[in-house]
Amino acid sequence: MSVVLPKKAHCIGVGGIHVSAVAKLLIARGVTVSGSDAFENDETKDLAARGAVISIGHHVSNLPIDAGVVIYSHAVPPENAELAEAKRRGIQCVDTHAFLAWMFGGAQQIVVTGSHGKSTTTSMLGLILASCGVNPTVIVGTKVPGFVDGNLRIGREDLLIVEGDEYQRHVLSYQPTVLVLNNVELDHVDVYPTIEAYEQVFREVVKKMGEGTVVVVNADDVRAHAIGAFARAEKKSLVEVGMNAGDVHIGKIESRDGGSSVDMHLSGDVIVPFDLNVPGEMNVRNAAMALAGARAAVPTMDLERAYDALAAFKGCWRRFERIGEVNGAVAVSDYGHHPTEVRATLAAAHEAFPDRRIVLAFQPHHRNRTKHLFSEFVASFDGADVLMLVEIYDVPGREATEDANVSSSQLMDAVKQRDVERGKQRPISFVPSVSDLAQAISSAGVTEQDVILFMGAGAIDAEARKMVN
């Protein structure tokens, strides 16, 4: 059932990966869009080229007098001048997730959530159903090479595939007909004080789902499996995905040329092999979750087309993305910022480049996360042959005063101590700023025999691309 969209929308934080996708979708649906952000980037330029009125910097004057709605990113603080003015005028103000949930109210909503792998799984799922002729609209927190609009695929108004962010409980905005739950591991510790509080948000999503809905869970993840049991008790249809067991399960995996050949079992029937051209067991699991989610939504989909779509998938922006070379070494950019993601990505790097030294340049993403997951971070770097720890990226509005002294230099000291205890020796350094990375890489003697993994959710990606260019 279609909703009546406002004639004009103003987007704050419009250069962000999620807000920009919503803005593009609104333009395509005939809405006049304006927006603002602190800095110009590729997304603001693209939106301006599509006819949006884009302002750099946040000022009350940017807000159109006749704006019908203001849509904002969760990164926008309440004291933002435009947001405060919109509220003063009585204009409806909603975050991007709440707006999308309203825009696709009554539509089929396939929501991918969990701690890790959301963007990749959402991308794969969208590509599978697009390849099968289902024509979904897809909103994802990355850029997908198979989507003309990058972070957006414009399709039907009654079918949305979306990445359901658990930060600030945004995933609760949606009314999923299919929920894909990848995994559950404590993150966003500035919002969720305990793993139990974090887990509860996913239970709440399941509880609000209606009759005839489907929950797809990673059965190998203990907490996700428990939420699957909760879903069954709540009378939802349950699909379990796992290694060697489950309604959809992964059998033999053979690594080859930066990817894998996989035996996938569907309800007891073996489909062998299908090829995946992105590395790592993590991506095999993402593919299995995407396939299960797609099948739950469209049971009659063409499996051959689905496998072809997965074989054609080359990865996403900032998800183990090869961006060029630095000092002759292959340069890879990755958004991972949780210890589990660091560990899995290092394993994928060794799988993809078995004969090369893996150099990890890692920038932690905000001090609160670093403090609460400190021990996990220290252990997660074991797979790096050379380790460079860039000073922590401060996130505006998410840093507590008591965390001001938390530093990557402390991580370095703890990693060195761990290496002593393990009887290991390797180059480890502290890099005060991303601007010092080039010198650190040069000092490490990086050559064409190496792979540099630039990892983190902060400023490290932009610096890596400068070095490549």
Q: Using DSSP bridges, classify how beta strands 214-218 and 137-139 pair: parallel, antiparallel or unpaired.
A: unpaired
Nearest to 80 by CA among 65, 95, 68: 95
pLDDT for residue 207 is more than 60: yes
How many helices (H) and strands (E) would you count in the chain?
15, 21
Domain ranges of the chain: 8-96, 104-312, 321-468
Reported as a pLDDT band with limits 50, 70 and 90, residue 294 is very high
How many Å from the N-terminal Cα to the C-terminal Cα in the chain? 47
Percentage of the chain surpassing pLDDT 90? 68
The pLDDT, as a whole number, for residue 62 is 97
For residue range 438-458, list pLDDT tens digits in order: 999 988 889 999 999 999 987
Percentage of the chain surpassing pLDDT 70? 97
**Tokens encoding 54:** 């884009």
DSSP 436: G
Most confident of 74-83, 154-163, 296-305: 154-163
Reported as a pLDDT band with limits 50, 70 and 90, residue 402 is low
pLDDT for residue 399 is more than 80: no
pLDDT for residue 219 is more than 80: yes
For residue range 346-368, list pLDDT tens digits in order: 988 998 898 899 999 999 988 88
Helices (H), 170-313: 195-208, 222-233, 281-297, 303-312
pLDDT for residue 306 is more than 70: yes
pLDDT for residue 398 is more than 60: no
Reported as a pLDDT band with limits 50, 70 and 90, residue 428 is very high
The pLDDT, as a whole number, for residue 348 is 87
Encoded amino acid at 233, one letter: A
DSSP 365: B
The model's pTM is 0.86
pLDDT for residue 437 is more than 60: yes
Top-confidence residue, 246 or 152 = 152
The pLDDT, as a whole number, for residue 400 is 60
Average pLDDT value for residue range 394-406: 69
Mean pLDDT of the chain: 91
**Residue 252 φ/ψ, nearest 5 degrees:** -70, 135
Query: C-alpha angle 378/382/386, rounded to 5°?
Result: 105
The pLDDT, as a whole number, for residue 3 is 83
Q: Does domain 321-468 have CATH number 3.40.50.720?
A: no
How far, CA to CA in Å, does 456 sit from each of 98, 109, 361, 365, 463? 27, 30, 9, 6, 12
DSSP 239: E
Q: Which helix (H) or strand (E) holds 160?
A: strand 159-163
Using CA of residue 131, residue 133, residue 134, residue 139, what is the dihedral sign?
Answer: positive
pLDDT for residue 275 is more than 90: no
**Tokens encoding 455:** 């990892």
Contact yes or no for 40/56 (Cβ under 8 A):
yes
For residue range 125-169, list pLDDT tens digits in order: 999 999 999 999 999 989 898 899 999 999 999 999 999 988 888
Encoded amino acid at 32, one letter: T
DSSP 392: P
The pLDDT, as a whole number, for residue 262 is 86
CATH topology of domain 8-96: Rossmann fold (3.40.50)
The pLDDT, as a whole number, for residue 289 is 96
pLDDT for residue 301 is more than 80: yes
> What is the spatial distance between Cα 255 and Cα 240, in angstroms, rounded to a whole number?
24
For residue range 80-111, list pLDDT tens digits in order: 999 999 999 999 999 999 999 999 999 999 99
The pLDDT, as a whole number, for residue 218 is 96
Options 3.50.50.60, 3.40.920.10, 3.30.1130.10, 3.40.1190.10; CATH for 104-312 is: 3.40.1190.10
pLDDT for residue 45 is more than 90: yes
